[in-house]
Structure 1
Amino acid sequence: MTKKGLTYYQADTDRFQDIRIKRLKKRYGCEGYAVFQYVQNEIYRVEGSFICFDEDQAFDCAEYWNISEELVIDIVDYCAEINLFDRNFWTSRRILTSQAIQQRYIEICRRAKKRIAVPDDITLIAEKAVEMPKPATITAQTAEIQQPQNSAEFRGNPQTSDGISDKEKKNKINPPSDSPQRGETQRRNVQNLLSGLNRKFDATCQHSQLDERGKTPIPPELDNGKGRNPDGLMYNLEKYHVPRHEAEEILMLTRYGEIGHPIWALFQEIDRSRGKITMPGRFLLSRLRPS
């Protein structure tokens, strides 16, 4: 019988910067983090992408860490409350899983050429069914078949004997980087977008992009005294090429980049997906819109 679970799983080095982990540690101390890691390990070990967390599972966890079963359940409840686990599956079916867990499980299975087994009724990955195309490997034997010699597509793009163009080799040796000019252009685009949004939401901002402190002004109806980072928010939206109409809605849903808002953890989730989240704007709105 093929084992469903995994013999290993990877961990993100920035997990201690995750605001959810910080909240868990602040509420329950080291015991909270220990329980979360124990449950996550059991998910990968047993089923791979989820676990039915019943009384036996709670007992095993409590015995391992020498704490009460009631405390284990309280910690798991809080983990679901702050979205370390999916809240709906936990409250309705006592199943523990999350989008991040399923993404990591699928990635490991692909690398290990292992069959992916995420039940359809609990999948949280919209991209699961879409296999990312693998880059074509061009060899001397296949170059003649894959690249027609007389095609206009390849004219003016000299190729070497291995079938790879000089331009491709140059880019491979010297990959494009984020130049200072590109960074300045990106910052200018962010400020232009912010300026337009401010004019839309607050007539008092029509003649200025920045306030006296050099920060982007906040519309009065959204200013409840909490710290915000609208420039950082819009910089990330520009970075992920989020369309303007989606950026406007995200700006409002996050109350102009409120500090501590889940949006910052979602940006980390996009980074960890390594390109699997192909439409970041829609992904962010699906997680931010009220259900």
Structure 2
Amino acid sequence: MSRPRKPGIRYFPLDTDFFENKKVRRLTRAFGAIAASVLVNLLCTIYKDKGYYMRWDDETLAFLADELGLKVGTVREIVVKAIQVGFFDANMANLFGTDEMRSKGDYNGILTSIAIQEQYFNTCKQSKRSEVCYDARFLLISMKPYEKIVNSGENSINSRENEVNSGESTQRKVKESK
């Protein structure tokens, strides 16, 4: 019996002009080289865990700051600026936040973007994954180009239909004749 496949991917291509991207340049101009480090770390986390999005909350913020050896406030400012310049989708970043939080520019939601989602689903398609579970609430792209990727909504390996001990054996004992 094989293990269930993880939703994320083990590898993602980073464009060679990543640091020349206008959005990344605006962030590095404002915060220095640590902004690029935060962005790459966030991209790695997104692609590794869910594949095309990640929840953004205070716990995730604290974990990222500890991992990078930065202050929580610095990481928060970088992520807020990344949302403001369009590196991450602002509507998704506000998904779970309150009106009060939004008015202060504090985000508590989902970090994703069209580019992240296209990259993830293209990678899944190229690696010939036959089944990828996704949550349609967090999609920013059309799934038409990825029709062969099925949204099963459940782990088919553990479904009752695939039960091994079904009661009847399909094997027969046959005596060999000499």
Give distance in 2, aligned partners of 1:35 and 1:19.
16
C-alpha deviation, 1:44, in angstroms: 0.3
1:88-99 counterparts in 2 under 5 A? 88-93=91-96, 94-99=109-114
C-alpha deviation, 1:129, in angstroms: 2.2
SS in 1 for 2:8: coil
Q: 1:103 aligns with which of 118, 121, 132?
A: 118
Match of 1:6 in 2: 9
C-alpha deviation, 1:13, in angstroms: 1.1
C-alpha deviation, 1:132, in angstroms: 7.8
SS in 2 for 1:8: coil
**TM-score, normalised by the number of residues in structure 2:** 0.69
Structure index of larger Rg: 1
Q: 1:19 aligns with which of 6, 22, 26?
A: 22
C-alpha deviation, 1:55, in angstroms: 2.0
The reply to whether residue 75 of structure 1 matches residue 78 of structure 2 is yes
Unaligned residue ranges in structure 2 (runs of 5+)? 97-108, 149-178
Give distance in 1, aligned partners of 2:93 and 2:58.
14
Unaligned residue ranges in structure 1 (runs of 5+)? 134-291
Give distance in 2, aligned partners of 1:55 and 1:13.
32
C-alpha deviation, 1:91, in angstroms: 1.9
The reply to whether residue 37 of structure 1 matches residue 40 of structure 2 is yes
Match of 1:188 in 2: none
The reply to whether residue 124 of structure 1 matches residue 127 of structure 2 is no
Give distance in 1, aligned partners of 2:110 and 2:76.
13
Give distance in 2, aligned partners of 1:131 and 1:92.
25
SS in 2 for 1:121: helix
Give distance in 2, aligned partners of 1:58 and 1:28.
17
Give distance in 1, aligned partners of 2:146 and 2:38.
34
SS in 1 for 2:144: coil
What does the per-residue CA deviation read over 1:68-101, in whole Å, with 9 as the maximum and x for residues that have no partner?
A: 1121111111111111000111023310000000
Percent identical residues: 26
Q: Which has the higher contact order (CA 8 A, sep 6+)?
A: 2
The reply to whether residue 48 of structure 1 matches residue 51 of structure 2 is yes
- How many equivalent residue pairs? 132
Match of 1:85 in 2: 88
